[in-house]
Structure formats: structure tokens, C-alpha cells
Structure 1
Amino acid sequence: MASGPYRGPRMPTCSSVPSNACCRGNCRTRPRPSPRMRRPASTTPAMSDTPAGWRAAPGPLWSMRRGTGPRMVFVHGFTQTGRSWLPVAEQFAADHEVVLVDAAGHGYSSDIRANLQQGADLLAATTGEADYVGYSMGGRLCLHLALAHPHLVRSLTLLGATAGIEDPIERAQRRAADEVLACNAQADGVEKFLVKWLALPLFATLPVQARALEDRLQNTAAGLASSLRLAGTGSQQPLWDHLAEITAPVLVLAGEFDDKFTNIAHRLV
């Protein structure tokens, strides 16, 4: 049963992260209190950057759209961008308006700083009523969206997503680990960080093309670091007690060999 109306998570304070967690580089550890709506001039896309058949769309988050019909919104995972969904999304464009969005801290939204609740609000303002599909971090954003803006979510498809870490000690440990990753991103730079990230066992079976390194290089080290600190799993307050409030149809998927998220998927439904 739900424990009460969902009002968004309380953000952890800097004191909840071990002082030695930021092990490399001169890193910022204090979360920003609100999202920054400015898009950096260095990453403002030119018309030629938008794939043929797609059109850039206005909104607080950068997005591109294609097709007409019922709207489908695809939200990517950490270190990806909206373009990561292109091979999948194009299959729906014949009879849907398909929207690919760059989440806060990523791609052409790299300069926007937002926690998960703020990111869900930005997503709502950018894409409106739709069927939402989210992978990993994108799935967690979509969960927050479905709880905070239920009238906008016609259906929800989650891939490799979680409603959060319930144990406060484990959550603090994950938050500290996310802080170390954020420091590494800023110390190493985006390319070196991504090479290390894609070398993790999680991605070991991905073919080179599916790793989409070129697309991930559209990110910035500062943007990825902010995403880890503000929207990482360690910073997410658990939503398990609020799942019963979601009234939209929900489909939950997990990788065939991903035992952890297969178990989480069973809990989510």
C-alpha cells in the first residue's frame, strides 16, 4: 500500500557523503538547489546535427521529433543521449510522433543541472502527454514523472530500471561510489571516463556498434558528474511505497542475463 501522496524526494545533503569520497580532482560536491535552464552555446545543435527526417523541438530539455500520431517519448540511460534510441524509435515513426530527449546533464542538455524530481518536471514540460519508454536512469526519470504528473503518462515501459535502494546504508554507499565516479569523470575527461565505463562487465557483451561511443562523446564531463551526484541511484529516495499510485499500464523489461534487474522487474510489477 502507498504510504501517502507522493511529494518528491528529499535530496541528501553533502554531510551524508563521506568526506573522502571525492578522491581525485577538484570536484564540486554540493548539489545545486534547482535546475539551470541555460543551454551552453558550445553544445547548441546546428540544423545539420539533426538526423534526416527529424526536427528539433522547443522545450527546457533538448529533444527531436519525427512522425505524426500518438506521442511516444524515449528517455536514455546514463552517458547516452536521445540518439541512442534512434534504431528503436524509427520503427515507431510510421504511425507515432516519436520524441527523443536529452536528459539533464546529457547531450545538448549537458548544462542543465537537475535531480530526478526536477528532471521529471523538465521532462513533463518538454514532452507532455505520451507513452513513455525509459532505460536505466531514463526509467527512473519516467517513474518520477508517472508519480508527479500522472495525467501525462498514458503508459510506461521500463527497461533495467529500479524504484531505488531501500536500505539507507546501502544507499549511502552507492552515493559515495557515485561521487567517486563523478570525480573520476571530471579528473579524466569525458573520453577517458567513457572508455573505462564501457569496459565494465555490464557492457562486456555489447558489440562495438551498440556501445555507441561516438554518441556518448556528445556528453561533457561536468554534465555526467552532475548527473551522478544529483540523479544517481545513490541520490534517489526509494519509491517502492508509492508504486501503487501509478495507474497507467506498466511494462517492465530486463536483460536476459541480468539477474539483478530481472528480480527488480518482478518487484516493480
Structure 2
Amino acid sequence: MTPEPLERVGHGHRFRVWRWPGTGRPVVCLHGFTGDGQDWAPVVGAFGGRPVFAPDLLGHGQSDVAPDPAAHRLPDQALALAQALNLDDFDLWGYSFGGRVALSWACAGPTGVGHLGLIGATPGLADPANAAARRAADDALAGRLLGEPLPTWLAAWQATPIIATQRRIEPQARQAMQARRRAATAAGWAASLRGAGTGAMPSLWANLGALALPVTLITGAEDEKFSGLAAQMHRLIPRARHRVLPGAGHCAHLEAPGAFSDALASLDDAGQTVGD
């Protein structure tokens, strides 16, 4: 099904939002770094015919480039998205970078989020030295992004082990994703790295115990790093469950869409695991 392109404004920023029609409580889906909202197209059906809203995050897709890294700070971007979408009762899913935005959103207080789903996501880095080192690494990566031809940078990025498993994504969907990446604006991605990278985000580890809503953590069996992080998060979040998808790496929902659909089918309308 082809999504309807919408334009929404939040905190002065223009967001492109892709909407798939449906009935029931809406689902908001946030993509990963270098992606856009249309990346969710192959798994929209997993949400059981509910309306799905998938925005292009700042610096990505057809949303504002926002070259100032300060505009990309996760708490501010979460508030901007909340204003732009203006939904009162919805489920929120995020993958990787989008998962960090989603977690920042859910931790902001009463937000209308009924269920939170995180795919290959982290609450940030609690150790200040580790966070500083990551900021430096992301700054260097952003510098290369701005200094190299985009195809050269993309080839190196997609060869990294955590991204390389995306070769499993269904060919037609993967080719469409690649075409959209090649049309991206390097300045937007660079600003996102510098303003919203893992080292730049405020650590949310201390907030996990206060999350009262049901949370589903999904990781790929071959993504050992994020499966380990999810196991730690699972122990801290009161109403969490962790599902590991076989045959998948970091981009678990797109690398193993059937297993992702099965995981969602085991949730009832309140986001609880049936039978738990």
C-alpha cells in the first residue's frame, strides 16, 4: 500500500510524515540513521491494519535539513514530533536512532504513548568518558561525511558489520532504501550525528525504572551488542519483554519481517504479551 505524504510542523521545523490508513489506535514509527519514514513500508502490515504514521526525522528524507546540530537534540526533537503529529493515544516504535528518539519521547512524561517498542536501541551512555569518546567519534564521522562524496561515505558506512547485515532485506525494499539514501543531504546527516548521536544524548539509564507503560524490546539474534543492552534494559523496565529474532542482525524488523510480525501478533491490544 502506498503511503500518503503529509506535511506537519513542530517547534518551527517542517516534518514529512508518511501515513498508511487504518482503524484503531495509531502507531508512530521512527526510522534509523540514514533512513526515512518509508523504510517501514515492508512491515506496516505487522501492525494489524491500524493507521501508521512514519515521519522523516530531522536531517533525513524530506524533512528539514536543520544544519545546526542543536536542533537535533533528542529531547527537543521528541517534543517537536509530539507537536507535529498531535496524537493523544498511540503506540510508539523506533529502530536504532529512532529508538533513542522514541525512548526520549516516552521518558518526557505524560505523552499519550500507550506502548513503546524499541528495536536495536540504547538508552545512551551512562559513563561521561564513554559519552565524550563517542561524541568525538561521531564528530569525526560527520566530518568525513561532509568531506567525501556521498556514495564513497555510504559504501564505507554500509560495509560496517552492524549495517552490513541489511543485505538480508528483501531486494526490492533494499533497493528503494538505497535510492533514497543516495538522494540524501549530507549536511542533515552530519548535523544529526553531532546533535543526536549516542554520545550527545542525555543518558536515560536512570529513567528506565520509572517507565510505567508496557515496553517491547526487539533485537536480532546476530546483534550481540544490542541484544546484551536489551537484556540489561529488560531487567530495569518494570513492564518490559524482550524478543530476539532469529536470522537477523541490527535491523531486525526488516531483516526478519516474518519473525517481527509474529512477535507483534503475540501482543494484545494493551501491548501485553498474550499468555504472560
**TM-score with structure 2 setting the length:** 0.74
CA contact (8 A) 1:189 1:221 kept: no
Query: How much has 1:59 moved relative to structure 2?
Result: 3.2
CA displacement at 1:206 relative to structure 2 = 2.6
Counterparts of residues 1-269 of structure 1 (less than 5 Å): 52-60=2-10, 61-69=15-23, 70-92=25-47, 95-112=49-66, 113-127=71-85, 128-129=87-88, 130-207=90-167, 209=171, 210=174, 212-269=177-234
Unaligned stretches of 5+ in structure 1? Answer: 1-50
Report deviation, 1:102.
0.4
Maintained 8 Å contact 2:3/2:18: no
CA change 1:153–1:218 in 2 (3 A) is farther
Q: Which of the pair is proportionally richer in strand?
A: 2
Cα-Cα RMSD: 1.8
Deviations 1:136-173 (A, max 9, x none): 01000001100114332110000010011111111111
Higher RCO (C-alpha under 8 Å, 6+ residues apart): 1
Alpha carbons of structure 1 residues 149 and 102: separation in structure 2 relative to 1, 3 Å: farther
- Which digits, 9 at most, give the CA deviation of each residue in 1:220-266, with x for residues without a partner? 10000000000000101211111122211100011111111111101
Aligned equivalents of 1:261 and 1:216: distance in 2? Answer: 24
- Segments ≥4 residues shifted beyond 4 Å: none
The alignment covers a number of residue pairs equal to: 218
Q: 1:98 to 1:115 in 2, by over 3 A?
A: same
Distance 1:173 1:230 in 2: 15
TM-aligned CA deviation for residue 56 of structure 1: 1.9
Counterparts of 2:2 and 2:29, CA distance in 1? 18
Bigger helix share: 2
Q: TM-score, normalised by structure 1?
A: 0.76
* Contact 1:156 1:249 (8 Å CA) reproduced: yes
% identical equivalent positions: 36
